[in-house]
Structure 1
Amino acid sequence: MTDCVFCSIVAEDSPAYRLYEDEHTLAFLDIEPATRGHTLVIPKTHYETTTDMPESLAGRVFETVHHVAAALETAYGLDGFALVQENGVTAEQDVPHAHVHILPRYGDDALDLGWNGERVDETTQQEVAATVRDELMSGA
């Protein structure tokens, strides 16, 4: 895709601080990092969302996430890390190219992922579980 900033990075038409790449994936530092070492992992082939990718490629992306996150943990002695993967504008996906954020966490960082979950009743949980299991069983 010619107007995709991530495709431009893959093609080396745009600069990036590349950390790791293989035949199918690329990991590079985020241009506006939330924390030191904030990294993006992308498939080299353009897919807008994770569910658009073939399952095997999604697996390869997460293998790269695993590899790079482990390197970040060792290099910076992280207190932890968060993985964020957004699909679609409503989910706040800024770049329409599938990507996973690796967000290193430090004991003194002020990063707030804005999670405000609330408990739901058992009936709702049972309905959601049944609906998703049915979809999984139908071969989705």
Structure 2
Amino acid sequence: MPSIKLREDENFIALLDIFPNTKGQAIVFPKKHYESNIANLDNDIISNLMIASNKVINLLRKGLNVDRVGIIIEGMQVNHIHVRLYPFFGSIGFENGIDAGPKADVLELQKLADEILHSTNR
């Protein structure tokens, strides 16, 4: 499946969600496999996942000019711990819920990633 990377370091990857229900919806996950049930994970893993997620939140806030980004650790669908990030535009929060949206066009996602990353490099 195609993916558009927003951020990567030695331990984590952040991608724009290929099935977004809001512009800029992203997923952050560790490169190493950890089960999706956060209650069974070491505090260090959880802390590092939150730090990595916060870096992506800051990219989204600046790149999309939003004040808030919602964060969900759902532990569903895929048995690999991951965080979903939902930028809030104006009064729009989770009005669309957390269900997947329609499949996004990869070229449009790349354009969006370029806009986000370009604005954060200023």
Q: Fold match, TM over 0.5?
A: yes
C-alpha distance after superposition, 1:67-116 (max 9, x if no partner): 110111011111421101112xxxxx1122110011001016473248xx
Distance 2:47 2:54 in 1: 10
- Aligned residue for 1:76? 64
Cα distance in 1 between the residues matched to 2:40 and 2:8 = 21
Alignment-derived partner of residue 43 in structure 1:
30
**Cα deviation 1:14-57 (Å, max 9, x = unaligned):** 53111111111111011111211101000111112233433222
Matches of 2:13 and 2:83, distance apart in 1: 11
Task: Return the alpha-carbon distance in structure 2 between the equivalents of residues 56 and 46 of structure 1.
Answer: 14
Residue 62 of structure 1: aligned partner: 50
Structure with more contact order per residue of length (Cα contacts < 8 Å, sep ≥ 6): 2
Distance 1:56 1:42, change over 3 A: same
Match of residue 86 from structure 2: 103
Q: 1:110 to 1:52 in 2, by over 3 A?
A: closer
Q: Is the 8 A contact 1:81 1:104 kept in 2?
A: yes
1:86 aligns with 2:74: yes
Aligned to 1:30: 17
| Equivalent pair of 1:40/1:101 in contact (CA under 8 Å) | yes
Q: What RMSD over aligned residues (CA atoms) do the two structures have, in Å?
A: 1.9
**Letter aligned with residue 35 of structure 1:** T
Amino acid in structure 2 at the alignment position of 1:61: L
Structure 2 gap segments, 5+ residues each:
99-122
Q: Which amino acid aligns with 1:66?
A: N
Question: Unaligned stretches of 5+ in structure 1?
Answer: 1-13, 88-92, 115-140
- Whether the 8 Å CA contact 1:26–1:44 is kept in 2: the answer is yes
